[in-house]
Chains A and B, each alone.
Chain A
Amino acid sequence: MATPKAVGAPGAPAPPRSRRSVTGTRRTVAALFLLPALVLLGALVVYPIGYSVVRSFYDRSGGGFAGVDNYKALFTDDGIRTALKNNVIWVVFAPTVATALGLIFAVLTERVRWGTAFKLVVFMPMAISMLAAGIIFRLVYDQDPDKGVANAVWVGVHDTFAQASAFPKAHPGRDSPLEADGGGFITKEPVRAGVPVSLPLVGVAPDQMPGSAGKAVKARPEQGAVTGTTWQDFTRGKGVGTLGVPDPTELGYAGMRIEAVKDGKVVASAKAADDGTFTLPAAADGARLRLPAANFKEAYNGLDWLGPSLVTPSIIGSYIWMWAGFAMVLIAAGLAGVPRELLEAARVDGATEWQVFRRVTVPLLAPVLAVVAVTLMINVLKVFDLVFIIAPGSSQDDANVLALELYRKGFSEDQPGIASAIAVFLLLLVIPVMWFNVRRLRREVRR
């Protein structure tokens, strides 16, 4: 901007009156040109900020001066403290991981033939709105392995190593001879050889029974052996039927393991046949029969991605999915400006690829990396939509961040004072980062 002094060149003896009028005009013109921008900035940026600051010192209704009460609430309210803690986690992890991934992608795509295509794919999520990304990831993290791809993969991997059992929900019905025992069930009384044992359970739906299961039959007594039946004591549409006795359509628990336990030691074991009958050797005489817990192991249901403990990392994951592409593109642009000779010189000098990357590429890219990280930091401080959409109501409190808390306080709890205080606090948090960015930018221009 030309100052009036600069206009008046030294030693020019022009009449002061006309000069003043000239500068006056220039000022007016300048003001005129600046006016629209100033009005817009004032009305849309400065005034709201100013009013938020003022409002943050007033109470809920806006009528009474509250002093610093709202700011006190900021550091005593549990919800806001969680939000603050989560914001720190976000600011530390999201930009660094996104920048690191972006760097890796950028450096690697430089050397791949289909680099541009790869970049395009990685950048694609940026074209999706935060809201849509949130909806996508709400599904990705769905608890049900049939819906959520994250759990589908996790359960798939898990199940290749550990099989689920056939009777996860089986439990003793009423007046059962069995009682619970460490995840399995055990007879209350010791069994005798030659007296058939009944081990009825309920709770397995007919279409979830093993395919080989046949109609349950009462075991025949056998001398010198413990025989018995284990079956689903429930007839569809009729309930239990005859209690403790296999009814005509009831199915045997094919493949159920049975252990005979004496003084805490397994003395014999057997597997039920298709009709639910089993035979144990004479050693089982006087033992209690146990259906071990392995029979009843629940199907593995995957991780609780959106549960209280994993929800924040999960959402950060979705954020990185979106923004790693952005980091990659900026870093790739910076990479294009790195003089090739330097890299080649290093290689000629015998540096390994890792050394070239670590000692040459990264230092040269440092300014770009800083810009990317700082930009992401500002972006992360105001993160709202992803958290708002992905976290289910039950863990929204655990996933809380300042921007979301601001919204909740301001619009659903009718606490505009506290909401304004959060807004001012967020502004204070962003200012140092902004200042850093502006200063860096200025240095760049000077260079």
Chain B
Amino acid sequence: MRSTSSTIRTRRTVKAAATLAAGALALSLTACGGDGKSNGTDGGTGTKESDSSLALPKLNGTTLEVAAVWTGTEQANFKKVLAEFEKRTGAKITFVPAQDPIINFLGSKIAGGSPPDVAMLPQPGAVKQAADKGWAKPLGAEALAQLAKNYSQGWQDIGKVGGKQYGVYYKAANKSLIWYNAKVLANAGASEPKTWKDLLATAQTVSDSGVTPFSVGGADGWTLTDWFENVYLSQAGPEKYDQLAQHKIKWTDPSVKEALTTLAQVWGKKDWIAGGASGALQTEFPASVTQTFTGGDQPKAAMVYEGDFVQVNIADTKAKVGTDAKVFPFPAVGGTAPVVSGGDAAVVLKDSKGAQALATFLASPDAAQIQAKLGGYLSPNKNVDVSVYPNDVQRTIAKALVAAGDDFRFDMSDQAPQAFGGTPGKGEWKDLQDFLKNPSDVAGIQAKLESDAAAAYGN
């Protein structure tokens, strides 16, 4: 009963669970498809990559601890990456399972005097917190070299605090995707939209065919903030996005008004949201996905917006990713299509040769490719060979992410203080839920957002 027990589950956990399932799915897909190139990963994981230029020190006798919140398949896959590191250096690595929010978990570990050597932090805010508190240690020269070689400037910059590089973004999420029930769109004779206008037209056609166009998991506020972020990033542009994320411009700004008004073109139509607004507000994210891909010709909705981790929940249905469930990038509202992302950064907590070597390794394509092959994983590393991803959907998503270069933006609510961007029933989550309930009151919601933001940012 994931959906019911997780009222307060953060998106981190959902993602973790999602990727877990996606991994399994991806593997089974490969098995079915018989794609020779990406097949046969199980036997010789990562043995061929040893000829790369990556130089790692000999660390015989060193023991390292790595903390992350990953569970299940995702954890198992990550451990394979760690095993490769052990093989190359002779170090011994222990995986420490952590709990959400990991920053609190680390706090207690550090207070207890035994922090892990490296931790995977899911938000830029957490990296900043760790650096500000002096927990995180700056990266060494080798790791910096790998970063410079493999990562676009944007991905390097979000790992920086006060000009110093602390984080290596090992894992990424692409949150600018709309998943759709292929059969419903075919029945309606609609096509994948490229722009917001097309999206509205597609939705209208789907609605005319007798299926509700959108499924919104409004019981979880973060799906709504992600909707908003995509519209805002595409419409107002990256500069404004950054300013709003840092609360340098107010939520009463005209650009916010425009984005909310645009959003209301979808949210404001009662027949366009499965269950209407009140139904959507009681639909949790997993249910919003499953109801889109169950019910044959008559699912509760035709399209559902969210990131790559939607695959996991699709795996709970009979639909197959790539045939029954397809995906298109979030359409361009303004000039260019948005790429909103998330990710996990490796941060060194104990400055040692071993920890630095591990950070270096995680910044290299060698590490990323091992996990990419296993599925359920996206790397922001631009030197990862796209062909190693196990299926086409995954490849499309990865390509879109890397192609965005520096134009991607990190999830805005993840950058905001938790009281504003990360608490169920509070702040931005709650305000956008109110907006979904009453999409005509743009000014009222803006005022509410601004007062909540001001309280949370403390300015």
Contacts and interface: CB of A to CB of B under 8 A. Distances in A.
Interface of A: 79, 131, 135, 138-139, 142-144, 169, 171, 173, 202-208, 232, 234-240, 301, 304, 306-307, 388-397, 400, 408, 411-415
Interface string B1-22: 1001101100000000000000
Contacts of B187: 236-237
A182 B297 CA distance: 31
A395 B424 CA distance: 9
27 contacts: A135-B1, A203-B209, A203-B271, A204-B210, A205-B209, A207-B297, A207-B298, A234-B210, A237-B186, A306-B282, A307-B278, A307-B281, A389-B7, A392-B284, A393-B220, A394-B218, A394-B219, A394-B430, A396-B8, A396-B424, A397-B425, A400-B425, A408-B423, A411-B104, A412-B8, A412-B423, A413-B423
Given A169-B271, A396-B424, A397-B426, 20 more contacts: A144-B275, A203-B207, A203-B271, A205-B209, A206-B210, A232-B210, A234-B210, A237-B188, A238-B189, A307-B281, A389-B4, A393-B7, A393-B219, A396-B7, A408-B426, A412-B8, A412-B422, A412-B423, A413-B419, A413-B426
Contacts of B356: none
B211 A205 contact: yes
B180 to A, nearest CB: 15
Given A143-B275, A205-B297, A238-B189, A389 B209 contact: no
Contact of A394 (B186, B208, B221): B221
A388 B7 contact: yes
Contact of A205 (B186, B220, B298, B429): B298
A96 B365 CA distance: 65
Given A135-B1, A236-B209, A393 B429 contact: yes
Contacts of A238: 189
Nearest to B433: A394
Contacts of A169: 207, 210, 212, 271
A361 B212 CA distance: 59
Contacts of A208: 210, 298
A182 B218 CA distance: 29
Given A237-B187, A413-B426, A414-B418, A392 B281 contact: yes
A392 B7 contact: yes
Contacts of A389: 4-5, 7
A392 B279 CA distance: 11
Interface string B266-294: 00000100010011011110000000000
Nearest to B9: A393
Contacts of A240: 208
Contacts of B207: 169, 171, 202-203
A30 B221 CA distance: 58
Nearest to B271: A169
Given A169-B271, A237-B186, A415-B419, A394 B210 contact: no
Contacts of B425: 391, 393-397, 400, 408
Interface in B185-232: 186-190, 205, 207-212, 218-221
A239 B7 contact: no
A240 B212 CA distance: 17
Contacts of A414: 418-419
Contacts of B101: 412
B216 to A, nearest CB: 11
A239 B205 CA distance: 7
A203 B210 contact: yes
Contacts of B275: 143-144, 301
Contacts of A394: 218-219, 221, 281-282, 425, 430, 433
| Contact residues on B (Cβ < 8 Å of other chain), bracket | 35 or more
Contacts of B5: 131, 135, 389
B277 to A, nearest CB: 10
A208 B297 CA distance: 11
Contacts of B186: 237
B210 A205 contact: yes
B208 A202 contact: yes
A143 B4 contact: no
A76 to B, nearest CB: 11
Nearest to B456: A413
Interface in B172-186: 186
Contacts of B422: 412
Contacts of B7: 388-393, 396
Nearest to A172: B208
B188 to A, nearest CB: 7
Contacts of A203: 207-210, 271
A345 to B, nearest CB: 54
B424 A393 contact: yes
Contacts of A400: 425
Contacts of B430: 394, 397
Contacts of A412: 8, 101, 418-419, 422-424
Interface string B89-125: 0000000000001001000000000000000000000
Nearest to B186: A237
B183 to A, nearest CB: 10
Nearest to A409: B419
Contacts of A235: 189
B220 A239 contact: no
B157 to A, nearest CB: 25
A171 B271 contact: yes
Contacts of A131: 5
The 7 closest A-B pairs by CB, nearest first: A205-B210, A396-B425, A202-B208, A397-B425, A392-B219, A393-B424, A394-B281
Contacts of B271: 169, 171, 203
A207 B184 CA distance: 13
Nearest to B188: A239
B352 to A, nearest CB: 29
A304 B219 contact: no
Nearest to B280: A394
Nearest to B270: A298
Interface string B432-450: 0100000000000000000
B148 to A, nearest CB: 34
A395 B8 CA distance: 12
Of A143, A208, A306, chain B has the most CB atoms within 10 Å of the CB of: A143
B282 A392 contact: yes
Contacts of A139: 4
B89 to A, nearest CB: 37
Contacts of A207: 297-298
A392 B281 CA distance: 8
Contact of A239 (B189, B282, B283): B189
Contacts of A388: 7-8
Interface in B404-421: 418-419
Nearest to A205: B210
Contacts of A232: 210
A234 B219 contact: no
Nearest to A136: B4
A135 B4 contact: yes
Nearest to A407: B8
Contacts of B189: 235, 237-239
A144 B209 CA distance: 23
A234 B206 CA distance: 10
A301 B218 CA distance: 18
Interface string B113-155: 0000000000000000000000000000000000000000000
A395 B281 contact: yes
A391 B220 CA distance: 11
A393 B8 contact: yes
B103 to A, nearest CB: 9
A184 B275 CA distance: 20
Nearest to A238: B189
